[in-house]
A and B are shown apart, each in its own frame.
Chain A
Amino acid sequence: SQQGEEDPQALSIQEGENATMNCSYKTSINNLQWYRQNSGRGLVHLILIRSNEREKHSGRLRVTLDTSKKSSSLLITASRAADTASYFCATLTLIYSGAGSYQLTFGKGTKLSVIP
């Protein structure tokens, strides 16, 4: 079943503005990850936040996690045209405790367009 739900589905902003994308999920997680996908390409990992963390920064990226609300947000500051891509949140959950097996479940993504 689908775990992460990104909001909005599409976002269009001017270069230099900040972009905020939200993700909600349904079950307990081990961690939450954000990935980026350029058109016709594979996914690239951006940032990982563990379930016991509340905020994390990486360059122009800021991720927050609220496990009580089962939600996360990705903020891209001072956006650039090169940030144009689809952004996916993915939740890592334990599926088989005996074998220690985890599964990464992706949302449908937010398509970000940054206009020069």
Chain B
Amino acid sequence: DTAVSQTPKYLVTQMGNDKSIKCEQNLGHDTMYWYKQDSKKFLKIMFSYNNKELIINETVPNRFSPKSPDKAHLNLHINSLELGDSAVYFCASSQGQGNNEQFFGPGTRLTVL
């Protein structure tokens, strides 16, 4: 059973389009995250979200919006895609935010043409 799953695995789209990436976790965790990994493998937090609060990273453009229909899902919607958005996006989850490991999804490779 996949603990943290993401769809799609690959996403190729044109500049200016709007796209969504879905994430689901079946671990019963209360906190979920979105990370962006660039071509140099640098992994950077974009958002963290638990059932209490959405933490927005100030460096993330407002074209990116997380949406959480319930505790098990955290989707990422991206408006007006730009070339620089090309990266691998990872979803993760954890129980709480403190001394617990994060479980990562397999990633979604987004390519903007």
Q: Residue on A with the closest CB to B52?
A: A99
Interchain CA distance A89-B75 in the complex, whole Å: 26
- Contact check, A50 vs B99: say whether CB atoms are below 8 A apart: yes
Q: B95 in the interface, Cβ–Cβ < 8 Å?
A: no
Interchain CA distance A40-B10 in the complex, whole Å: 11
Q: Contact flags (1/0) for B50-85 with A, using CB distance below 8 Å?
A: 001101000000000000000000000000000000
Size category of the A interface is 20 to 34
Q: Given A30, A95, A100, A106, which contacts B43 in the complex, CB threshold below 8 Å? A: A106
Size category of the B interface is 20 to 34
Q: A92 in the interface, Cβ–Cβ < 8 Å?
A: yes
> Which of B35, B52, B101: most chain A CB closer than 10 A?
B101
Interchain CA distance A92-B45 in the complex, whole Å: 12
Interchain CA distance A43-B35 in the complex, whole Å: 11
23 CB-based A-B contacts, threshold 8 Å: A31-B99, A33-B102, A35-B104, A37-B41, A42-B4, A42-B90, A42-B106, A43-B43, A43-B90, A43-B102, A45-B102, A86-B41, A92-B97, A92-B98, A95-B55, A99-B55, A101-B55, A103-B48, A103-B55, A104-B102, A106-B35, A106-B44, A108-B41
- 10 closest A-B pairs by CB: A45-B101, A42-B104, A102-B97, A106-B43, A43-B104, A42-B106, A108-B42, A101-B55, A42-B107, A42-B105
19 more CB-based (< 8 A) A-B contacts, given A106-B43, A108-B41: A35-B104, A41-B106, A42-B90, A43-B43, A43-B90, A45-B102, A45-B103, A48-B99, A50-B99, A92-B97, A96-B55, A100-B98, A101-B48, A103-B48, A103-B55, A104-B102, A105-B45, A108-B42, A109-B43
Interface residues in chain A, defined as those with a beta carbon under 8 Å from any beta carbon in chain B = 2, 30-31, 33, 35, 37, 40-45, 48, 50, 86, 88, 92, 95-96, 99-106, 108-109
